Amino acid sequence: MIPNLSASGFPFGMSNDLNTVISILMYASFMVLMVFGQKVQSRLMLWEIEGALKRLEFMRNEMRALSLKTITENGKPKEDPTVELNVLLEQFLISPEGMDPSGIVWKLDHLLDVRDLKFKDDIKRIAPEATNDQVNNLENLVEASAGMNTIYRIVKHFYLLGKKTSSFYIIFQIQMILPLIMQEATALAAAGKAFAEGQPIGDGAGAMVAARLMRGVEKRKIEKDMVMAETLIEGRTIISLKAEGPGGNVGKPGDAIRQIMETNPGKIKMIVMVDAALKLEGDTTGETSEGIGAAIGGPGTERYKIEEAAVKSKVPVYAIIVKESIAEAIAPMKKDISDACDKVVTRIKKLILERTSEGDTVIVAGIGNTVGIGQ
């Protein structure tokens, strides 16, 4: 039954009463918003953060459960690894003091080596029957879990601090970056699954290009967790290198390049570095671009070593990047990124033909996590 609507559109001649009610409501809401506007806004933002925090807690618990399941399946531990896993999830690294920056790179490099070694040993201890590749994947998986745990703790810290102090600005700063935090957390959760199953991730674009150049030729291990192979392209010797896969690994490309340059004094005419790089919003995923300099992320120690070695021998360093977002870099590899590898190989060949002569030797370094990518 459709109610009898008056000319104003309100049923049963309610317009006059409604007139008064709406007027009172409008004045009241105006006064309330004048006095408590910021409080209301803070409360709304806290609700939003609370919702995100619940999602983050769920993702953190899922990641922890996935880590535990994968450790149990691959490593077949004799005792329950939960306690040791929890210790690993809370592990931290104290950066070296920067008041006297001289030698800080080597200090940081040493700390990172110690951390890596300890982390790997801990994983081997709680997963004694895991193969080397599985240990590398588990290491990455636990690191992703630890990252998720840190994100959750930081957001929770600001949420509780904001609630405790009722400070609009504490709440505001976490609410402002919440979409980016959630985007990264979602990608981290996807990365966890990729590491558990050994699927390639977006960051592995560089490693995949190097693996393509290495295909069908003899490989040998060099420096920590790195492999290299020599091929011939149009009379030039190409030394391709990447982290040893298919386990999750980034290796130490800086040390590897330095070692190759020291064992081939004066022979290396060019270094080409291939890596995944962050795109800006509006850029197309999988688009490639060329530049100058050492294309490598991380804490900066490996880039420093490459730059040092290149400057010492006056060797030009070229970079070819595959554009992708931070979320795409840590999530399982998309088709666009995988397809970009062929374009990069073509670009490398063109660059080598343009910038070197027959008989020259060129290093092509594929940078990135090599999970799910063999050689």
Partner 1 sequence: MLDRRIIGQTYFYLLVAFSVVVLGYSLWMLSRGILSMKEDTESFYYSTFIGAMGIMLAASSLIQIRRRITAAAKANLKTLTVVLCDKCGFKMIRNFAVGDFVYREVGKCQQCESAAYISQIYQEPSKP
Tell me which residues touch partner 1 (CB under 8 A): 7-10, 15, 18-19, 22, 197-200, 208, 211, 215, 245-246, 331-335, 337-339, 372-375
202/51 Cα distance (integer angstroms) = 29
Between 199 and 301, name the residue whose CB sits nearer to partner 1.
199
Q: How far is the CB of 163 from partner 1 (least distance, A)?
A: 26
25/28 Cα distance (integer angstroms) = 5
- Residue 372, number of CB atoms within 10 A of its CB: 23
Between 75 and 254, name the residue whose CB sits nearer to partner 1.
75
Q: How far is the CB of 84 from partner 1 (least distance, A)?
A: 24
CB 306 within 8 A of CB 275: no
Buried b (16+ CB within 10 A) or exposed e, 311-320: eebebebbbb
Between 211 and 319, name the residue whose CB sits nearer to partner 1.
211
327/190 Cα distance (integer angstroms) = 9
Between 113 and 339, name the residue whose CB sits nearer to partner 1.
339
Q: How far is the CB of 200 from partner 1 (least distance, A)?
A: 5
Residue 241 amino acid letter: L
Between 25 and 154, name the residue whose CB sits nearer to partner 1.
25
Between 124 and 193, name the residue whose CB sits nearer to partner 1.
193
Between 9 and 98, name the residue whose CB sits nearer to partner 1.
9
261/309 Cα distance (integer angstroms) = 7
Between 124 and 334, name the residue whose CB sits nearer to partner 1.
334
Give the three-state DSSP class for 157. Answer: helix
Q: How far is the CB of 234 from partner 1 (least distance, A)?
A: 20
Radius of gyration of the chain (CA): 27
CA distances from 233 to 239, 349, 365 (A): 10, 8, 15
Give the three-state DSSP class for 222. Answer: strand
142/125 Cα distance (integer angstroms) = 14
Strand order in the sheet with 317-324: 219-222, 226-233, 236-243, 361-366, 268-278, 317-324, 288-292
Give the strand pairing for 361-366 and 268-278: parallel
DSSP assigned state of 218:
-
The size of the chain, in residues, is 375
Between 189 and 239, name the residue whose CB sits nearer to partner 1.
189
24/301 Cα distance (integer angstroms) = 66
